[in-house]
Structures are given as structure tokens and as C-alpha cells.
Amino acid sequence: MIFYREDKHLRAIYFYRYSTEALDILREWNRMYIWFSKPDITLSHDVKLVTAIVMTSAVLENVVGHLSLFPILVPENGAVNSPVRNISAWETYYVRSHQLWANVIPFNLAVSIFVFISNKIGLYAWNYMDLTIVILARAMYFKFKALTLEAEACLLAPSNLTDVPSWRQFTKDHETLCSMLKTINHFLSPLILLSYGKNIYFICIQMHLGLTPQENTSAITTIYAFWSFLHLIARVYLINEAGARIHFWAHRSTELFRKCPNEAYITEVERAERFVSTNTISLSGAGCFNITKPLILRVIGIVFTFEVVLLQASQTPFMIKSSPQILH
């Protein structure tokens, strides 16, 4: 439980530790040459739009969540996990937000401020991690999409149908993109595994808290729980949708390879077709799973299975009936 609540800082450490690898990916991206391509004129707009929506929602969600931690709008008798009276606002925040640590480390103003700042770093690292995956996946799937559509328009034209150099260039471009995807996946793979695990975990927790009636729950806590639940679902959907499109467009080339005439079916084309048919070209979570469209259905199945187990376990006397405050 401590790992799932405090691992947000691992992402900040990961980005700091591997920042040079991220810069190398950007440099390699700028040097990459693809013949069958076109300008991605909507990339900047999409990045700004997704970033603005996700980060604005994250900041406002966190503000609403902190309203129930600081004794500002929520009265003491209506707050979740209310501490004793006659204590400072910082001590109230420290006790409510980090009950596990408060039982081990006594309150201190410096410690409380450090915990507050640390929580913000973890918040933005979590959202920044998901945005990094979405943005790189968005840029990557457009390259595969442009490659496939431009190659179909060129190679299937009657004048170029048997043009061997053009087919050889198409296989070379596809191989270049697959190599670039492998480099990106090497950087993103641990983050993808951590992102899916953490997001699914908190989706299950928030859903369970919503399905289980709680006592002394304020309106602010209810709003926060619903907002947080939707925010988590949106992030998982964005990651899965962007990643699944890489898989879709990378394997779309198989249809083009099947239409290659015998006169142009050279060794490079045969090798490329065999590679696409026998391998899964996609982002992965440390080799544990590949991001494809069916993955979202498996995620939904995991969530509902976990909820059934929790609801059954909640009928036992061993189930803790308090509702912990969860901040992202």
C-alpha cells in the first residue's frame, strides 16, 4: 500500500535519471528520414490540447482534494478522518493526508511543508508520465499512418505497381519506423507498466469507495472522488487509444504487401511481410503486455473482477470501513 501511494516520486526520479535518453530520442527523431511521409501539421495542436486538458483537470482535482485536508471549507464534524481540535492547519493536513507517516513521524512544520511539496512533485510526475506516453505514441502512430497511406497512393498506382525501387524504399521506411519504435519503447516500457498498474489500482479503489456507503462523507470529498475517478479513466483511455493506433497502422502494411505483384516481390518485401506477420509491433509494458485495442477490454475485465472480490470481502468483519483520502 505504501508503494502504491508513494511511488509517484519514482517517476520523477526516472525522468531525472533517464533525461539524456529522452533527449537522444528527440535527436534521433529529427534525423530520421522517411520517403513515404507527410508533415504532421496537427501534432502541435494535439499536444497543446491534450496537455491543457489533462494538467488543468489534475490541478483542479488536487485543489478540490486538498479542501477536505485543510480545515477551510469542511467542518470538523463533517470531514473524513478528522483529527482532534485546536491544532494548526498544517498539522491537520499532515495527519489527514499521510496517516501512515503521521503514526511514525511526529508533526513538524518543516516535515509538513516537505510532504506538501513532495506531494505536488508526485502529482505532476504522475500526470507528466502519462502525457509523455500519449504524446510520443501520438507522434509515432502518425508516422506509420502517413507511411501506409502515402505508400498505398503511390505503389498501387498503375504506373508504379511494378516499380521495384519504390517497393524497396517502402520496406526500408517501414524498417526505419520499427527501429524508432523500438528505441522509444525501450524508454517508455517501464513507465507504461507503472502507469497501467497504478491507474488500474486507483480506479479499482475509487470505484469500490463509490460503491461502498461511507459515514461522515462531505460534499467536497464526494466531488473529489467522482472527479478523480473520471480523471483516471480518461488517462488510461488516452494511453491505450494512442498506443493501440501504433499497432493498427504498423500492421496495416500487411494489406499492402499482399497486393505487391510478383514482378516486384523482391527479397526485402518478403522479409518485411514475414516480420510484420509474425511479430507484434507496438508499445509494451516491460514485455508483460502489448498496447492494442483489445487491451482496454482486458483492463475493464480486471477492474470488474477486482471489484467483485472487494465487494465480497467487504461483507466480512475484517474489512476496514474507513474511507482513506487518495490524492493523485
Q: What is the mean pLDDT of each run of 10 residues along the chain (328 residues)?
A: 54 76 91 93 94 92 78 47 56 75 77 78 83 95 95 90 92 96 94 90 85 70 85 94 96 92 92 94 93 93 87 62 48
pTM value?
Answer: 0.83
pLDDT at 179: 95
pLDDT at 76: 44
pLDDT at 1: 42
pLDDT at 242: 96
pLDDT at 79: 41
pLDDT at 321: 45
Q: How many residues does the chain have?
A: 328
pLDDT at 115: 76
Contact in structure between 4 and 201 (CB atoms under 8 Å): yes
